[in-house]
Structure 1
Amino acid sequence: MPNLDIQSNVSEPGSSKHVLHPADRLAIDIPVIDIAGYLQPSLDPDLTRSIASEIHDAARSPGFFQITGNGVSPDLRRRLLESMRSFFALPACTKASLHRNLSPAMRGYEGVGDQMLEAGVSDRKEGFLIGAEWDGEEDGGRAGFLQGRNQWPAEEECPGFRGVMEEYFDAMRGLSKALFRLVALSLDLDEKWFDGFVGIGGLEVFHRLTQAWHPVKPVKDAFVVNIGDMMVSDKDRYSVAFFNEGRLDQIIECIPTCLKPGEQPRYEPVRVEAHLKERYSSSY
C-alpha cells in the first residue's frame, strides 16, 4: 500500500538536539546510480545487468543510494515544493480540519508533536499523508487498515494542491515499480518477482562499520534511496517521503536466493499489515 508523506520540519531556536557538526564527521560516498538506461523503451540487457549489479552492491553496503535518470521532471518537483509551502502556510484550523485522526485510513494532516519516533520525544514537524485512492470496490467493498479515501483541502483554499500531489504520487509509484524490478534482478530473481508484492541537503546516514553519522552529498536531480530519520536544521525544512509498503496481505519472508544451502532464515515470516500496525502503534 504505497503512501506519500510530505513534511515541514519546524525549527526550535536554541535547540541543540540532533545538531549536525560536519567538521566532526567523516564523509562517506553514497553511490549514485543512473537508471535512465533501464527506463528507456528499448532495454539494453547488458546495461540492465550493470545497473542491477550497482544496486546489489549499494544495497549491501551502505544500504543507501541515489538514483539519477529517474524520469521525474524538475518542473514537477518545483511545483511539488510550491504546493507544500502553500499547504503548510494555511491557517491551523484549516489544516486541523483534515487531521488524519478523522480518516479511517489514517490519511491527512498531522500536527507538530503528533508523531513520536524516539521514545519520549515528539517530532517537531508537520506532515500530510496521502495514498492510493480506494475506489470502493476492492476487497468486496470493505475499507480496511490504511485503505480509503484521501482528505484534501478545498481547491479555493490551496489551488492546485491535489492535482500536483496526485501527479507526483503516480510518478513515484511508477518509479518504485522499476526499482523493485531492478532489485529483483540484483538478487538473481525473475524481473517481476516483486510485482505481486507491490500490487498495482540535510540528510546523514548511520554507518554500521564506523558507528557514526555521515553526511550525504546531494546530487542534482537525484533521489536518495535507503534500504532512516530526518534531522532538525536551523530553519524549517520541507521533505517528501514515498513509502511503498506493498500489499497488506503479503507475507514477508526470506527470498530463496538470499539463503545458502542448509541455511535457515534469520527472521520469521510476517504479514505486511501486522508489521505496519506494530510500527504505527509505536509512533502514534
Structure 2
Amino acid sequence: MLKELKEQTEESKSVNISMASPNAPPILDFSPVYGDDSQAKAKLVEAVRNCCHHNGFFQITGHRVPSELQRRVMNCSKRFFDLPLEEKLQIDKNNNSFNRGYELLRSQMLEVGTGPELKEGLYIGEEIPTDHPYYLQKKLNSGPNQWPQTVSDKDEFQKTTMEYYHAVFELAKDVLCILALTLGVESSFFDPLTDGAVATMRMLHYPAQPKDEDERLNRGIGAHTDFGMVTLLLQDEVDGLQVLDAATGQWIDVKPVPGAYVVNLGDLFMRMANDNCLPNCQEPGEAAKYPPITVQEMVTASYKESYGRAEKYKKEFEMKKQEQAPVMAAVRA
C-alpha cells in the first residue's frame, strides 16, 4: 500500500543491494536480467521474492530505459501540465469511455475519509484505432489517444511519449519474468498475458500545497493499493511518496533515486497469487481466496468505486454549501 502526501512546498510530477533507508523498499540492481551471470540473477530473484513477501515494493536501477529518454518524457510532462486549464480540457478523458486524455484535479478518491485527490493526469496507451477489435469489443482502456494540440512541438511530444511508453512496457515484461522465477515457474510464464496487452501510462502532476492545509483532505493521492498487475513509477526530484512497512505498520518515505523505478505489485497480481508468492500460490489443501474474475471486470469495478467516491464527495460538499448559504446571508443582513 502506498500514499503520496503533498505537504511539501514544491510541486511534483511523475510519469511506477543497498537500502535507501531502514525498512524502505530496497534498491535492486536489475542488470543481471540482461547478462549471463546466473549467480547474480539468482540473488536478484531471491531479493525480489523477499520484497514480495514483505510488502510488494522495490526499486530498480540497471534497467534498459535510457536516462536521456526519461529526461525527455519528464520535459513533455512539464510542457503539458504548464498549459492553461482550458487547453488541457480540450482532451478531457470524460470525452470517451476508454480512459484516454486529461484528468482534472479532484477526479478520484482512493482513500475513504479523505478529500478527492489533488492530482491531475494525462492517460496514454497503445494507439488503438476505432476499427481495431479491442475498440469494437469495448476492451478495457482501448481506444485512440487524445493528444494535446497546443503543447509546444506537439509532434515531438507525441513521438517521445510513445517511445517512452514502449520502452517501459518492455521493462514491465522483464519485471514479470523475474516475478515468474520467484514463483518457481519458467520466466516466460506470464508471456501469454502480455502478448497484445494494452498498458496504461499516466503523466501525473501534484501541485504544491501550503503546509498549513489539512493534509488528510488535501493529499496528492490517498493511501491505496494499485488496481493492476504491476506498476512502474518514475519519480522526479521532489519526494512525497510513502510506502506502508508491513512489519511495523509505519509509513516510510521513498526517496527519489535518479533514473530508478519504484516497482509495486497491484491487486490483480496479489489476487492471481492468492496473496502469496510461493510456488503454485496455494498451500496443499488451501482454498482459493477469491472467486474467478476477468481483468476487465476487476479493474472497471475499481475505477467505478474510486471515481464514484470522488463524485459523491463533491456533490455532498456542494449540498452543504447550499444549505449554509441562507444562514450566511441572514448574518450579513
Shift of 1:192: 1.0
* 2:191 is the alignment partner of 1:195: yes
Q: Deviations over 1:24-68 (max 9, x none)?
A: xx942321111112124xx33333222211111111113210101
Q: Tell me which residue corresponds to 1:35.
A: 30
User: Residue 260 of structure 2 aligns with which residue?
Assistant: 222
1:169 and 2:207 aligned: no
Percent of pairs with identical residues: 31
SS in 2 for 1:49: helix
Do the aligned residues in 1 keep the contact of 2:134 with 2:142 (CA within 8 Å)? Answer: no
The one-letter code matched in structure 2 to 1:116 is M
In structure 2, relative to structure 1, the CA distance for the partners of 1:220 and 1:253 (3 Å cut) is: closer
The reply to whether residue 78 of structure 1 matches residue 71 of structure 2 is yes
Gap runs ≥5 in structure 2: 10-20, 197-238, 308-333
Task: Work out whether 1:110 is the aligned partner of 2:103.
Answer: yes
User: Which AA in structure 1 matches 2:298?
Assistant: H
Bigger helix share: 2
User: Structure 1 CA distance, aligned partners of 2:302 and 2:135?
Assistant: 27
SS at match of 1:154: coil
Alignment of 1:1-284 (within 5 A): 27-40=22-35, 43-119=36-112, 121-135=115-129, 136-139=131-134, 141-154=136-149, 157-159=152-154, 160-200=156-196, 201-227=239-265, 252=272, 254=274, 257-284=280-307
Q: Give per-residue Cα distances to partners, 1:159-212, cap 9 Å, x unaligned.
A: 322111111100110000000011001110111111112233322111222122
Task: Judge which range, 87-96 or 135-144, deviates more.
Answer: 135-144
Asked if structure 2 preserves the Cα contact closer than 8 Å seen for 1:253 and 1:270, the reply is no
AA in 2 matched with 1:117: L
Question: How high is the TM-score relative to the length of structure 2?
Answer: 0.66
Supply the AA of the counterpart residue of 1:258.
C
Shift of 1:252: 4.2
Q: Give the total of aligned pairs.
A: 244
**RMSD after superposition:** 2.9
What CA distance in whole angstroms lies between the structure 2 residues aligned with 1:152 and 1:219? 30
Cα distance in 2 for partners of 1:106, 1:94 equals 18
Give the direction of change, closer, same or farther, for the CA distance of 1:123–1:49 in structure 2 (3 Å limit). Answer: same
**Distance in 2 of aligned mates of 1:258 and 1:142:** 32
* Partners of 1:33 and 1:66 within 8 A in 2: yes
Q: Distance in 1 between matches of 2:184 and 2:8?
A: 47
Structure 1 counterpart SS, 2:32? helix
The amino acid of 1:45's aligned partner reads S
Q: Is the 8 A contact 1:68 1:222 kept in 2?
A: yes
1:165 partner letter = T
In 1, the alpha carbon distance for the partners of 2:255 and 2:8 equals 25
Structure 2: distance between partners of 1:146 and 1:265: 28
Partner of 1:270, secondary structure, is coil
C-alpha separation between the residues in 1 aligned to 2:81 and 2:286? 50
Secondary structure at the aligned position of 1:122 is classed as coil
Deviations 1:66-106 (A, max 9, x none): 10111111111111111111101112111101000112311
Q: Which is worse superposed, 29-38 or 131-140? A: 131-140
Structure-1 separation of matches of 2:168 and 2:51: 20
Letter of the aligned partner of 2:81 in structure 1?
A: F
Deviations 1:3-30 (A, max 9, x none): xxxxxx98798xxxxxxxxxxxx94232
State the AA in 1 paired with 2:127.
E
Q: C-alpha distance in 1, partners of 2:255/2:99?
A: 34
Q: Read off the aligned partner of 1:128 and give its amino acid letter.
A: L
TM-score by length of 1: 0.76
CA 1:87–1:11: 2 relative to 1, 3 Å: farther
Structure 1: runs of 5 or more not aligned: 1-8, 14-25, 229-242
